Amino acid sequence: MTKIRPRITRGEYDRLVRWRDSGARTVLAIGDLHAPFIKEGYLEFCKEIYQTYNCTEVVFLGDLLDNHYSSYHEADPDGHGAGEELKRAKVQIAKFYAAFPNAKVCVGNHDAIPDRKAFSAGLSKNWIKSISEILETPTWEYAEEHIIDGVLYNHGIGRKARIRAKDEFISVVQGHYHSESDYTTFVSETRLHFAMQVGCGVDRRAYAMAYGRHFKKPQLNVGVIFDNGRWGAIIPMDLGRG
């Protein structure tokens, strides 16, 4: 197994090692997946990090699905149709569900595309299956945001993590911005909170990612939040994988 070294200072790394075996709650924050366009090897990377740091909780930061066929970005006419894309996405998501059967999921803007389209068409939500039913993930908990140990986990629509953390006076972990990841702390006389912007797990060469081909390359990583929400680190994926 490859040893993983987070991009943090030596002092923080020593503290991480001490807390790894302390029994404190440790959360693995998994970036945007955009199934069925997930980077090869990203699942294995997530499982390795979960085991390496004795994680006790898993949060998916949103956009499990890409829904390219119905995206608000221009769809590739030579891409998969609606049924085929969903079929392929469910195969990939099933592997993450098998690896992490108990997890919280932040609903992302791409996840919500079918509901938004149905709303625009005037369909009652009573006619629409939930994303949990569609993906066959009954033990995953879906919501726009989750709070664990006083840390806010959300997809990230509207504001970067550091802005949200400053505006709401709370530690924040989010995804959404594929090509950005950073970790910032804010301190006062009495408290510390942080902002963690996690990258993603997408395959940038997939046709569905063509809208971002002229942007910065996606940052493939996960976030780990240690010591019952007190601090965290961004762990990069080895780009030699897959």
Residues of the chain with pLDDT under 50: 1-6, 241-242
**222 belongs to a structural domain:** yes
- At what angle are helices 42-52 and 82-99 packed, to 10 degrees? 20
**241 belongs to a structural domain:** no
**51 belongs to a structural domain:** yes
- In three-state form (DSSP H/G/I as H, E/B as E, the rest C), the secondary structure along 48-82 is HHHHHCCCCEEEECCCCECCHHHCCCCCCCCCCCH
DSSP structural state of residue 227: T
Q: What is the CATH number of the domain that holds 77?
A: 3.60.21.10
Given a contact cutoff of 8 angstroms between Cβ atoms, the answer to whether 187 and 212 are in contact is no
For residue 81, give its domain range: 10-236
What number of other Cβ atoms are within 10 A of residue 159's Cβ? Answer: 16
Which pLDDT value is given to residue 72?
Answer: 66
The total number of structural domains in the chain stands at 1
Which pLDDT value is given to residue 242?
Answer: 41
Given a contact cutoff of 8 angstroms between Cβ atoms, the answer to whether 127 and 118 are in contact is yes
**228 belongs to a structural domain:** yes
**183 belongs to a structural domain:** yes
Which pLDDT value is given to residue 210?
Answer: 77
**163 belongs to a structural domain:** yes
Six-digit token string for 107 = 């609903």
Q: CA 68, CA 76: separation in Å to the nearest integer?
A: 8
Distance of CA 30 to the CA centre of its chain: 4
